[in-house]
Amino acid sequence: MIFEGIPIVDAHCHIGYFGGWANVGITAEELIAVNKKFNVIHSVVFTLPNALSAEAAKKYPKQISSYVWLNPFDGDKAVNELRTAVRDHGCKGVKLHPLFQAFIADDPIVYPIMDEARRLKVPVAIHSGHPPFSLPWSIGELAEVYPDVTIVMLHMGHGHGLYIRAAIHTAKRYPNIILETSGMPMHTKIKEAMDTVGDERVVYGSDIPFHHPSVELQRVKMAELNESQLKKILHDNAVEKLGLKA
Ligand SMILES: [Zn+2]
């Protein structure tokens, strides 16, 4: 166990199988079993098909919350799917992956989903760190258009130093952006992010099964955060900013 006294919320998880280049997979039960070893009490899960995460959240409501993964090119169908997911299935947010589905994060095609997320008061989590579609600057442009929608910048810039720097600078400029830590290699940038954008605006995520909590938590451990920052990044910020019960 890497953090003994702090119950942890993981803001970025997947279940199911991801083929192609990734070739990784995990079931809801396996996720819960791994979580137990690391004192992770609650996971935000987004996956395709969406039914998988919705069913897991229904079956394990204490351990799992679901986000609905939407494709903006689906137009009204995506908006309806969001409405049904939140109202009928207790879905807690939206996941967008601009790189995966080839749209720029701030393209107006995303607006109908953002409008509905605003109406439903749910956060929108967006993959970051890959050109040309998923860059921090574009997510910033979207945050500027929707200042009243909470946007989680997943991976806070990911593996590229300049993107990580841009993620922190962009989040500093737009107070509705929350940075999420998974897959971002520099422990130092976690502390820099909290010191720069504020202790309330960074959340821990693992991106399991693409990454493992043992590695992702170790980076938080080495970030030289104070006790209050640790509690916030590992638990409180996800609960308060993302509207989770954990
Ligand atoms: Zn992911």
Ligand 1 centroid to 14 CA: how many Å?
Answer: 6
Ligand 1 centroid to 119 CA: how many Å?
Answer: 25
> Three-state SS for 75?
coil
Which pLDDT band holds residue 137 (cuts at 50, 70, 90)? very high
SS3 string, 152-199, reads EEEHHHCCCHHHHHHHHHHHHHCCCEEEECCCCCCHHHHHHHHHHHCH
Whether 4 has a pLDDT exceeding 90, the answer reads no
Ligand 1 centroid to 12 CA: how many Å?
Answer: 6
Question: What percent of the chain has a predicted confidence (pLDDT) above 70?
Answer: 100
Cβ pair 222, 185 in contact under 8 A: no
Which residues does 76 contact at the CB level (< 8 Å), separation at least 6? 112
**Nearest CA-CA partner of 92 in 129, 48, 62, 57:** 57
Ligand 1 centroid to 27 CA: how many Å?
Answer: 15
Ligand 1 centroid to 224 CA: how many Å?
Answer: 25
Ligand 1 centroid to 173 CA: how many Å?
Answer: 25
Whether 2 has a pLDDT exceeding 90, the answer reads no
Whether 185 has a pLDDT exceeding 90, the answer reads yes
Each residue's pLDDT tens digit, 63-121? 999 999 999 999 999 999 999 999 999 999 999 999 999 999 999 999 999 999 999 99
Ligand 1 centroid to 15 CA: how many Å?
Answer: 10
Ligand 1 centroid to 197 CA: how many Å?
Answer: 23
Predicted model pTM: 0.97
Which pLDDT band holds residue 13 (cuts at 50, 70, 90)? very high
Burial of 4 (0-12, 13-18, 19+ CB in 10 A): exposed
Ligand 1 centroid to 85 CA: how many Å?
Answer: 20
| DSSP for 210-231, written as a single string | TS-HHHHHHHHHTT---HHHHH
Ligand 1 centroid to 97 CA: how many Å?
Answer: 9
Ligand 1 centroid to 203 CA: how many Å?
Answer: 14
Ligand 1 centroid to 146 CA: how many Å?
Answer: 23
Predicted pLDDT at 53? 97
